[in-house]
Chains A and B, each alone.
Chain A
Amino acid sequence: MSVFYDITVSHFLVLAAALFTVGIAGVLLRRNALIVMMSIELMLNAANITVLAFSRGFAGNNHEAAYQGQAFALTVIAIAAAEAAVGLAIVVTVFRTRRHSDIDRLTMLKN
């Protein structure tokens, strides 16, 4: 069972794919805006795992290339923090005016 013993880059990548799929499930299937935002964070994390796995696995002896991935992942974390702040502000505003945060009932912009 060397699949279980020899951890390759692909193990990290497939785990990231699984986390991404769970995030997509949360975005598509849940109706609570906060759960949807948490699922988006989950997908961002999956992308970060992918970036780091590639940077760790394929940079070769080029350490600068390996650090490119880490710098990119750090940028993604910062952008995710900004996105969470703005998104939560929007959720709070919507809740204040509509008294719910159900994304299926937020159809003011329809038609």
Chain B
Amino acid sequence: MSNLPISKCLSWFGVSALAISVVFGFDLSIAAAAADHAAESTVNTFISDEKGGGGKGAAFVFWIFALSSLGGAIFVITRNNMVTAVMGMVGTFFAIAGLYLMLYASFLAVMQVLVYAGAIMVLFVFVIMILNRPEDEPWVMHGILGKGVAALGLLYLFKRLAGILWEVKDVQPLVLDKAALNVDVVLNHSDPALAAGAVEAITRTYEFGSVEGVGYTLFSKYLFPFEAVSIVLLVAVVGAIAIARPTEEESAEDAAEAEAAKEAS
């Protein structure tokens, strides 16, 4: 952090605060309208307990995950040290996995941790260890004016995006109760013997969002996309090896360097 002095940080945050107040213009009407709406109509609670009331514990957990994912994301793009940026990214991915759990996608939460925090971030760390070169000027925009313009533009983008997405809550969301989370699935439903009534249907109960549920969808209706993804992964692996492999001159140079190093020692 030695190359990011406090005065620079303060000016950055000052410009951001100014931009927030200009763009939003103390326009808290969205929040006020939302509060009115919730007060007068039946509350469209998304995360709720069995009685249909808003779950304060769930809300607490949501805010923790939301703030940690957002904080981790901002941490990532403001760090000059690459390894700390990757660590912030891992934290963000864990928080996003928690959000997936709140959205009843437990299998996807596990995949998020395994694939992103496990595989992709390890790949990033490897590449950082290969590169290992500090940069001179990390930001594209210079000075307080450039950063102010950038912050204003980004805040405007966020305002437009959030303005559209915030309206979505007026659509009545479904509140899944615990009974709806366990689904009976009739397997082998295309079996003609089943249609004839000769065999009894095999029913299995599984939790919503589990491996079984996602797998059943993936291997029945979305079999072709699933197989296409495997082709994409194969092509990506072959392409990555073909791109990153040193050319013949480079490997000859490396061999010469290694030989010279051996002789020198």
Contact = CB atoms under 8 A, between A and B. Distances in A.
Given A6-B38, A13-B168, A39-B77, A34 B58 contact: no
The A contact surface, by secondary structure, is helix
B12 to A, nearest CB: 11
B218 interface: yes
Interface residues of A, number: 84
Given A9-B46, A10-B168, 11 more contacts: A3-B34, A3-B35, A6-B59, A17-B158, A35-B76, A41-B89, A52-B100, A70-B217, A75-B229, A84-B124, A86-B236
Contacts of B176: 56
Interface residues of B, number: 99
A104 B136 CA distance: 12
A19 B70 contact: yes
The B contact surface, by secondary structure, is helix
Contact of A77 (B111, B124, B141, B250): B111
A17 B161 CA distance: 6
Contact of B208 (A53, A63, A101): A63
Contacts of B168: 9-10, 13
Interface of B: 31, 34-35, 38-39, 43-47, 54-56, 58-59, 62-63, 66, 69-70, 73-74, 76-77, 82, 85-86, 89, 92-93, 96, 99-100, 102-105, 107-108, 111-112, 115-116, 119-120, 123-124, 127-128, 130-131, 133, 135, 137-141, 150, 154, 157-158, 161-162, 165-169, 171, 173-174, 176, 180, 183, 208-209, 213-214, 216-218, 221-222, 225-226, 229, 232-233, 235-237, 239-241, 243-244, 246, 250
